[in-house]
């Protein structure tokens, strides 16, 4: 039962080392501060403890000291602020060529689907050394995707996508926790992230060969739902053409311009009236309740695949190969 006494969490991602360094810095500063206060209290209370005939000195204060002990801590804190902000920026800005995995959280389970097609539940297999971006949503309450060994955490919110990225540095099996309280079996909503050697990962990927990539499934669904009757690839449809839209700026009817990201595509499917593309009418019906979260992910992945990444940005030579599905623009 007490055979191991862990003192430090495993570090297995590029963020982990940085975060640990920052944590140690903060701990040292805090220890120093605590020591100063404790020592002062201890020394004063010993040296000036009440004895026969001891008179307290009359001291009112010192402006210089007040300014000093306001400014000095603030200065140290600004270092913490800056270092913490830099790490946070890194954590919140996924590299453009990362491999993407779609995550759907529900009470009390993690459902994941790789772009290449394989689905997993409460497990995530990733290759070591690759940037992995998770595109996450929840189909019920708020959850939080937390891998302590990677020092990453992101709430998974219903009705929108949030993202999280990491690059694992050590093969191994790591805890995956739900960190946001989500009801009865919150503590059972756990799983594992399995970081594999690229070769093993490739073998795993081939083994789990699914019916098709996420984008291919999305294309089938796109046709089944009849989306292609309006969103045609020949600019003749009643809805905007979707080729080459993703990742680019879209001019809206009300004059605004937005970047077509996952959340935009999602919203355009569920609440088409929210943002009308310039030159089109508000005629698309809402798909709220008609498609589930996983189907939404497939549609998003498909629409994404209609916009090949710009030259040079995507150098996709991951071990598994063909991470970025390159569908033809043929939507009929």
Partner 1 sequence: MATAAVSTERKNYLNAEYGIRSWLLTTDHKRIALLYLLSITLFFFIGGFFALLIRLELLTPAGDLMTADMYNKAFTMHGQIMVFFFLIPSIPAVLGNFLIPMMIGAKDLAFPRINLLSWYIYVAAGILYLYCLMTGGVDTGWTFYTPFSSQFSNTHVVEAGLAIFIVGFSSILTGLNFVVTVHRMRAPGMTWSRLPLFVWSHYATSIIMLLGTPIIAITLLLVVLERTLNLGIFDPTRGGDPVLFQHLFWFYSHPAVYIMILPSMAVISEIVPCFSRKRVFGYTFVAASSIAIAAIGFLVWAHHMFVAGISLYSALVFSFLSFLVAVPSAVKVFNWTATMYKGSISFSTPMLYAFGFIGLFTIGGLTGLFLATLGVDVHVHDTYFVIAHFHYVMVGGAVMGYLGGIHFWWPKISGRMYPEAWGRLAALIVFLGFNLTFFPQFVVGYLGMPRRYWQYPPEYQVYNVLSTAGASILAVGYLLPMVYLLWSLRYGKPAPDNPWQATGLEWRTPSPPPTFNFEETPVVTWEAYEYETMPLPDEVTLER
Residues 148-187 within binding reach of partner 1 (CB under 8 A): 148-149, 151-155, 157-160, 162, 175, 177-187
**Contact residues for 314 (Cβ-Cβ < 8 A; gap 6+):** 96, 97, 308, 324
Binding residue for partner 1, selected from 17, 28, 45, 96, defined by CB under 8 A: 45
Binding residue for partner 1, selected from 22, 210, 252, 291, defined by CB under 8 A: 22
Give 36 or 283: the residue with its C-beta nearer to partner 1.
36
Residue range at the interface with partner 1 (CB under 8 A); choices 87-95, 276-284, 292-300, 320-328? 87-95
d(CA 213, CA 117) in angstroms, rounded, equals 4
Residue range at the interface with partner 1 (CB under 8 A); choices 29-37, 116-124, 213-221, 304-312? 29-37
Task: Confirm or reject binding of residue 132 to partner 1 (CB under 8 A).
Answer: no
What's the closest the beta carbon of residue 7 comes to partner 1, in angstroms?
7
Give 217 or 268: the residue with its C-beta nearer to partner 1.
268
Task: Confirm or reject binding of residue 125 to partner 1 (CB under 8 A).
Answer: no
Contact criterion met (CB below 8 Å) for 314 and 324: yes
Alpha-carbon torsion, ordered 192, 193, 197, 198, to 10 deg: 130
DSSP 158: B
d(CA 105, CA 167) in angstroms, rounded, equals 21
What's the closest the beta carbon of residue 202 comes to partner 1, in angstroms?
29
Pairing state between β 152-156 and 123-127: unpaired
Task: Confirm or reject binding of residue 87 to partner 1 (CB under 8 A).
Answer: yes
Task: Confirm or reject binding of residue 28 to partner 1 (CB under 8 A).
Answer: no
Rg (CA), the chain: 27
DSSP 160: S
Pairing state between β 123-127 and 191-196: parallel
d(CA 103, CA 111) in angstroms, rounded, equals 6
Contact mark string toward partner 1, 246..285, x via CB under 8 A: -------------------------x--------------
Give 6 or 255: the residue with its C-beta nearer to partner 1.
6
Task: Confirm or reject binding of residue 146 to partner 1 (CB under 8 A).
Answer: yes
**Residue whose C-alpha is closest to residue 166's, from 295, 14, 268, 277:** 14
Binding residue for partner 1, selected from 17, 28, 85, 251, defined by CB under 8 A: 85
**Residue whose C-alpha is closest to residue 291's, from 236, 220, 233, 242:** 220
Contact criterion met (CB below 8 Å) for 171 and 197: yes
Residues near partner 1 (CB under 8 A), total: 92
Phi, psi angle pair for 232, to nearest 5°: -90, 160
Give 5 or 235: the residue with its C-beta nearer to partner 1.
5
Residue range at the interface with partner 1 (CB under 8 A); choices 111-119, 137-145, 251-259, 292-300? 137-145
Residues 201-230 within binding reach of partner 1 (CB under 8 A): none
**Contact residues for 85 (Cβ-Cβ < 8 A; gap 6+):** none
Binding residue for partner 1, selected from 12, 14, 19, 217, defined by CB under 8 A: 19
């Amino acid at each position: 039962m007490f055979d191991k006494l862990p003192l430090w969490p495993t570090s297995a991602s590029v963020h982990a080392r940085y975060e640990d360094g920052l944590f140690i810095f903060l701990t040292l500063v805090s220890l120093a501060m605590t020591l100063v206060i404790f020592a002062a209290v201890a020394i004063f209370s010993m040296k000036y403890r009440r004895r026969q005939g001891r008179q307290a000195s009359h001291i009112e204060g010192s402006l210089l000291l007040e300014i000093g002990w306001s400014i000095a801590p603030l200065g140290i804190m600004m270092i913490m602020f800056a270092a913490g902000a830099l790490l946070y920026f890194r954590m919140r800005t996924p590299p453009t060529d990362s491999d993407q995995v779609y995550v759907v959280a529900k009470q009390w389970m993690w459902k994941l689907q790789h772009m290449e097609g394989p689905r997993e539940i409460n497990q995530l297999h990733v290759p070591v050394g690759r940037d992995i971006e998770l595109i996450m949503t929840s189909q019920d309450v708020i959850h939080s995707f937390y891998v302590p060994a990677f020092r990453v955490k992101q709430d998974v919110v219903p009705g929108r996508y949030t993202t999280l990225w990491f690059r694992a540095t050590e093969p191994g099996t790591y805890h995956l926790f739900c960190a946001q309280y989500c009801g009865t079996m919150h503590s059972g909503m756990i799983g594992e992230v399995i970081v594999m050697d690229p070769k093993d990962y490739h073998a795993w990927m081939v083994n789990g060969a699914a019916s098709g990539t996420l984008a291919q499934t999305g294309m089938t669904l796109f046709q089944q739902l009849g989306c292609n009757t309006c969103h045609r690839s020949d600019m003749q449809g009643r809805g905007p053409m979707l080729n080459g839209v993703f990742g680019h700026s879209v001019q809206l009817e009300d004059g605004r311009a937005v970047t077509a990201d996952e959340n935009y595509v999602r919203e355009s499917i569920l609440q088409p009236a929210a943002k009308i593309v310039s030159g089109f009418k508000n005629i698309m019906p809402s798909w709220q309740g008609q498609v589930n979260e996983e189907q939404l992910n497939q549609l998003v992945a498909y629409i994404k695949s209609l916009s090949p990444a710009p030259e040079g940005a995507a150098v996709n030579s991951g071990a598994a190969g063909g991470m970025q599905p390159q569908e033809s623009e043929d939507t009929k």
